[in-house]
Structure 1
Amino acid sequence: WETWRKRRAGLTVLARYMKLNDITVQTLLGERPDIYVVNAMAWLNDLGGKNRKSNLIAMKTHTSVVLGQFSKMSNISDSPLIKQFTRCLNLNVDSKARYNIIWDIQKLFDHISNSTFSTPEEIQMKAMALLVSFSAARMTELSRMTMKDLDNSQKNKMIIATTIKKGSKVRNETITLNRLESQLCPVDALRIWIQTRMKINIQEESIFWDFKRQTAPSSHYCSQTLTTILRQFGIESPFNGPSIRHATMTKLRASGASVLEVNAFSRHILTSTVVDAFYYRPIQRDLGTLLIQSVRPNKTAWVVQNPEFTVGFENNPAPPKTQGVISMQRCRSRVTNLWGSRYNNINNG
């Protein structure tokens, strides 16, 4: 209902423009409805007002969606005419990073190393978390992976074919996982999950499984599963399952990996700048503790500045004499004699 309410708000302005210019609905369902959308946006821009920009964005977004469903131009939102006009009016919405800071991926590794995963859901959760950690897999990639995409023929390596969709563009990529002599090995975790998957007799082709609905998982289910493991070791909202990708890429960049290396690792275009712009974030930590650790009180300076607190120590037995060590009493007597001699010299002068 909320979505249609917003669309109706965008269409209302277009309806006013159509009424003023005697434009019929059948005209908008023709070959080039984008021309009428741009003309309507130009008319709305000339009207001005406080809500000019928000009304223009609403009209462009929701009108394009509706006309894309019913007109002969299905990809109206990709119209060069609309894109150019939007750029001229500076209507493009600036993208922002999802997180300003990110948690340390080592916390996830420590939790996995110190925990036992025994039930099928827990085994899948571990395999999914390690797969995302060592491949920066997207939630949509996890939901689309099938057993046919998995090449498990090599002993020390596992290869997974994956598909990345950006709008109408589809890219076929490959994830290569190397076996590690560690509890954090993603290859071993996936192989254990595949064995478990066979034992519980899952017939679907998808690698992972939605235990709640007993069907192939959606990207939302994958995100929820990974969010569950984050909550187990204290990572709270707003961080969720996909934040594992952010933590992984942050660790790689902070450890010296180049942008090109991380782009290849995360299956971005090699010339892309999104890693540093949206994924590489400062690691979350308690800066107050850092401030306290940096303060080191100078006890010797405090004693020299407050000699009255040394009264009573003179009668204590002196420690064994060692080279380079002077007792407190001798130190005070030397200081007294030094200042006394200076005082006499000043008076005589």
Structure 2
Amino acid sequence: MSEPLPTTRALKGRGAASNPEGRFERTRHQAEDDGWLQEVEEPVRVETSVREERARSVITRNDSPDIYFDQALNPYRGCEHGCIYCFARPSHAYLNLSPGLDFETKIYAKTNLAEVLRGELTKPSYTCKPINIGSNTDPYQPVEKHWRLTRAALQLLHDCKHPCTIVTKNAMVERDLDLLVPMAEQNLVQVFVSINSLDNKLAARLEPRASAPHRRMKAVATLAEAGVPVGVLVAPIIPALNERDMEAILEQAAAAGARSAGYTVLRLPHELKGLFREWLDVHVPDRAAHVMSLVQQMNGGRDYDSNFATRMRGQGIFADLLKKRFEIASRRFGLTRARELVLDTSRFVAPRVTSPQGELF
């Protein structure tokens, strides 16, 4: 069960300012000022905790027409990066936890990830298709430095020549160049680095524990120099907040060696609506109404429209303008669409089934 905070204010190193109950909870907490709490001398600090999870399956299938991959895996539930706009926040409600601070402070690590993945890849019915790593939560979030679950999964995919794509906003991806480079040489991997702003101060509030924008741009250059196909995702674009940086991001990414680019607009499903509005009131109160007005214009008058045809790009005049700006800038800087690289599935060799008797040969 999530625990409510006594007040709503910016918390250092965290994206959410509160811990509202998930949509499945039957009990609601509401803080009331009784006049006793006059001053808060010390800021509230919420530490990160990691709980071990024994997964029964790790490959998820996707049939959404607006998503380019069919298979995905996520080593962690929750994400310490704390991006306030993260569309995955509402998924924490399924764990009886809050999509607010719980999502970024109570992380679940699938400690048997590589073992279960091996079992799924050995099934006779398995069909090799590229697996996206990081479709829901970032595979290189800070806790990966200790748990190394992404590294274990990538090692297995490397060994059996299975193609994959990676989405991250953390420069820690450079750590695994020893695996990524040989995979790239066999057309087995493509990395996408998400950069939606070049303003360090804004990024520190929007995505407090992700790598700084300039550090992510350096990671793009490092990957490109090593021969790893890399693209940049300007995602999500938030009107009147970070959309002004779109062209500059694409220009710098192309100069750093990015081959492709993509973008999405802000999505606010379920509890994320309230969390993002709260963030606006805390961090940019003077622009809050204007930002939400533009968001609603792109969603048919609502905070969020789940229609597959429009949820990633939006609709209306402002969305059309973003689309044209992106297309013009991409052509100008020589960037292709993010989904155009076709990875090689013909090299896949299923891993050997683990036997309690060991291997004779």
Q: What TM-score results when the alignment is normalised by the length of structure 1?
A: 0.25
Q: Which has the higher contact order (CA 8 A, sep 6+)?
A: 2
Structure number having the greater strand percentage: 2
Q: What TM-score results when the alignment is normalised by the length of structure 2?
A: 0.24
Structure number having the greater helix percentage: 1
Q: Which has the larger radius of gyration?
A: 1
